[in-house]
Amino acid sequence: RLSPSGPQLSPREREVLNLLADGLGVAEISKQLYISQSTTKTHVSKLYEKLGAANRAQALMTALNMGLITSGGRG
């Protein structure tokens, strides 16, 4: 469930969200943030949960509609 002000994302979740919006995959995000792919997948799963999304496209559309990212990627 989202709060009225939107989901409470950690700074790392925001980083991952912005990189997803830039079109990066799990492997690329992991390399860029110097974290394991397993950790990246956990962040992505938490993002989906917090955004009420079932997949990447739905998560990005929800984030865009909530103003968490812009159509250019970064929020």
Give pLDDT tens digits for 51-60: 999 999 999 9
Of the candidates 55, 62, 58, 45, the one whose C-alpha atom is nearest the C-alpha of residue 7 is: 62
Q: Which pLDDT belongs to residue 4?
A: 52
Q: What distances in angstroms separate CA 53 from CA 18, 36, 40, 47, 67, one per listed residue?
A: 16, 23, 17, 8, 16
Note down the domain range covering 15. Answer: 11-65
- Residue 73 forms part of a structural domain: no
Give pLDDT tens digits for 13-35: 999 999 999 999 999 999 999 99
- CATH code of the domain covering residue 40: 1.10.10.10
Q: Residue written as tokens 């929800």?
A: 62
Domains contained in the chain, number: 1
The yes-or-no verdict on residue 5 having pLDDT over 80 is no
